[in-house]
Amino acid sequence: MLFRHCAPIALAIASAALLSACGGGDGIFENRGAIAVSETTGAVAISWDAANQNLANDKARSLCGQSDCKVVLQFSKCGAFSVDTNARIYAVAEGNSATEAQEAADNSCRANGGQTCTAIPELPAKCN
């Protein structure tokens, strides 16, 4: 299984303006993210800063680019993906920071039998 990474597309300006106008930083409107993976091709994608979970899920599946891409993590703070390509093992995790999320994903990957679990360099943990 090969893991392909995809770069996400920025949110529309209107969404950012709406969040700002409604006090986006006060906890009422929290941006959302998602990680999607194709089990057949190993493609993986992460979306973040979406206005709601449905948009985050749709964006991650779209960026993943395969018909079987499924969302494997939904997150409100930070999300990370870790993989051991030799053992074909991956894991995802959420955390309060990018570092915390990546450490949790790496630890989960190792707990599932991975030996060299790490982030894909071009697909680091992302925070909303």
Q: What are phi and psi of 42, to 5 degrees?
A: 85, 5
Largest CA distance in the chain: 48
Could you list the pLDDT tens digit for every one of the 128 residues in the chain? 334 444 332 222 222 323 333 344 444 568 999 999 999 999 999 999 999 999 999 999 999 999 999 999 999 999 999 999 898 899 999 999 999 999 999 999 999 999 999 999 999 999 99
Nearest residue to 76 via CA among 92, 99, 100, 52: 52
pTM over 0.85: no
Burial class (CB in 10 A: 0-12, 13-18, 19+), 11: middle
Q: What is the pLDDT of residue 29?
A: 65
Q: What is the pLDDT of residue 10?
A: 25
Q: What are phi and psi of 40, to 5 degrees?
A: -85, -40
Enumerate the domain spans of the chain: 13-127
